[in-house]
Amino acid sequence: MYEDKTLTCKECGNEFVFTAGEQEFYAEKGFVNEPQRCKACRDARKNAGRAEREMFTTTCASCGQEAKVPFRPREDRPVYCSECFAKIKEQEEN
């Protein structure tokens, strides 16, 4: 029913593909206008008003590697890198 369309971003001027799946999604949501910006420009516009998140460097309590986290680590709680945190969450789910 839908076919991929190539559109031009009004922000950066680059071409981007408005896929058949995206068109179907737009139709389901009742959107009548096609997107005017590519994904990169949409994301940049969405995050423009958002303050840059402060990141803190710490050591992973599991593997000992450096980890960057979006909160100030405390001495009384372990902090894990992304990989170790994912492993721990997976174990908890099983």
With cut-offs at 50, 70 and 90, classify the pLDDT of residue 8.
very high
| Measured distance CA(30)–CA(50) in Å, rounded | 28
| Measured distance CA(41)–CA(45) in Å, rounded | 6
| Measured distance CA(22)–CA(6) in Å, rounded | 12
Whether the predicted model's global pTM rises above the 0.75 cut: no
On the question of pLDDT at 39 being above 80, the answer is yes
Residue 52, pLDDT score:
77
